[in-house]
């Protein structure tokens, strides 16, 4: 689930506030799109680096999280990176009902 933020500025100040990020990282390119990056450390000592794309409404394009023990030993690492991006309307075939299935009007939950 990718977050969607309110309209933002050219350095994604509003988007960064949702992550409580503090330090600005050098601009970079992710999937061919210019991104602005921020980093921070939370109260547990987890290090975050998050990159947003101003030209795409400050969509999150890269997230890296590293957690360390009290003694500095890395105990977890998570990374999400957009590695391919195609702008434009989705292909119609993505909305075609596959053979063997049928379309239903609605499913009523009771």
Give per-residue pLDDT as tens, 15-73: 898 888 889 999 999 999 999 999 998 887 789 999 999 999 899 999 999 998 888 78
Count Cα atoms within 13 angstroms, Cβ side, for 94: 3
Residue among 36, 56, 48, 107 at smallest CA distance from 80: 48
Residue 109 pLDDT grade (very low, low, confident, very high; cuts 50, 70, 90): low
Please, what is the end-to-end C-alpha distance for the chain in angstroms?
27
pLDDT of residue 36: 97
């Amino acid at each position: 689930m990718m977050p969607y933020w309110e309209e933002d500025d050219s350095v994604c100040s509003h988007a960064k506030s949702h992550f409580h990020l503090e330090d600005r990282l050098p601009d970079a390119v992710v999937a061919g799109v210019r991104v602005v990056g921020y980093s921070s450390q939370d109260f547990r000592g987890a290090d975050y680096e998050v990159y947003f794309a101003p030209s795409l409404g400050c969509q999150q394009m890269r997230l890296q999280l590293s957690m360390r023990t009290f003694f500095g030993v890395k105990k977890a690492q998570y990374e999400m990176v957009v590695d391919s991006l195609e702008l434009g309307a989705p292909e119609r075939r993505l909305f075609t009902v596959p053979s063997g299935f049928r379309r239903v009007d609605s499913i009523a939950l009771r």
